[in-house]
Structures are given as C-alpha cells and as structure tokens.
C-alpha cells in the first residue's frame, strides 16, 4: 500500500520563481508617489492611527476639547524631544570640581593622614 501524501508538504520553490514572486510584491517609486493635490488629505489621514482616532471619537468629548488635548500632548513632548536630541557633548556635568588646581598642595596638618 502506498503512503498518503500530506497536503501540507510542498516542493521547494526554485530561486527564479521566488524572485518573481518577490518582484510582484514590491512597488516602484513612481507608483508610491502621491499627487500634490492629494497630499494634504494623505497627511491628515496618516497623522493618527485609526484605533487612536476611533477611541477619541467614541469618547463623547466635543471637538474643541479634543483639539485642546492634542495641543497639550504635543507641548508636553517638547521637553522630552529636546532631551532626546541632546548628545554627549550637550549633557551637563553637575559635580565639576577643579581638581587640577588642588592636586599636590598640602595645607598644614595633612601629613599625618597621608
């Protein structure tokens, strides 16, 4: 009796067929471009994710207070963004002491403790 062939097992695809499959999925730059007249609506549609927008709209709060809330959120991010942009050279060293001025200069009474 012959063994059953499973429906899950498939023959591996050749390299050329995989490349062709991949080429069909990718898009070229010209196809992805957005016309200038549609650009504003495209930016507005991408500004918030759908889930977040639905939560805000379903919350029952009026549009003016939603706009005020969005502004407050954006203003609260300013400080964090500024700190994120600061590199190592921009960081402040709070405990800076001029140790090069004090090294090797012993005052009276220091010899017993050295």
Over the chain, what HEC string results? CCCCCCCCCCCCCCHHHHHHHHHHHCCCHHHHCCCHHHHHHHHHHHHCCHHHHHHHHHCCCCHHHHHHHHHHHHHHHHHHHHHHHCCHHHCCCCCCCCHHHHCCCCCCCCHHHC
Tell me what pLDDT residue 72 has: 92
CB 27 within 8 A of CB 19: no
pLDDT at position 92 is 74
d(CA 44, CA 38): 10
**Residue 33 covered by a domain:** yes
Report if residue 3 sits inside a domain. Answer: no
Decide if 43 is inside a domain. yes
Q: Establish if 72 belongs to a structural domain.
A: yes
Q: Is residue 83 part of a domain?
A: yes
Residues making up the chain, counted from first to last:
114
Q: Note whether residue 61 is domain-resident.
A: yes
Assess if residue 111 is contained within a domain. no
Domain total for the chain? 1
> What is the model's pLDDT at position 38?
58
Asked whether residue 110 is assigned to any structural domain, the reply reads no
CA atoms within 13 A on the CB side of 72: 6
Please list the rounded mean pLDDT of every run of 10 residues in the chain (114 residues).
58 69 60 58 58 67 84 90 82 72 68 59
What residues make up the domain containing 31?
15-101
């Amino acid at each position: 009796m012959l063994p059953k062939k499973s429906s899950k097992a498939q023959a591996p695809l050749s390299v050329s067929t995989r490349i062709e499959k991949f080429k069909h999925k990718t898009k070229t730059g010209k196809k992805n471009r957005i016309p200038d007249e549609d650009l504003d609506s495209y930016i507005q549609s991408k500004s918030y994710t759908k889930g977040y927008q639905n939560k805000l709209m379903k919350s029952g709060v009026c549009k003016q207070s939603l706009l005020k809330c969005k502004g407050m959120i954006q203003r609260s991010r300013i400080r964090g963004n500024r700190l994120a942009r600061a590199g190592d050279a921009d960081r402040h060293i709070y405990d800076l002491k001029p140790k090069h001025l004090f090294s090797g200069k012993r005052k009276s009474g220091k010899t017993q403790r050295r």
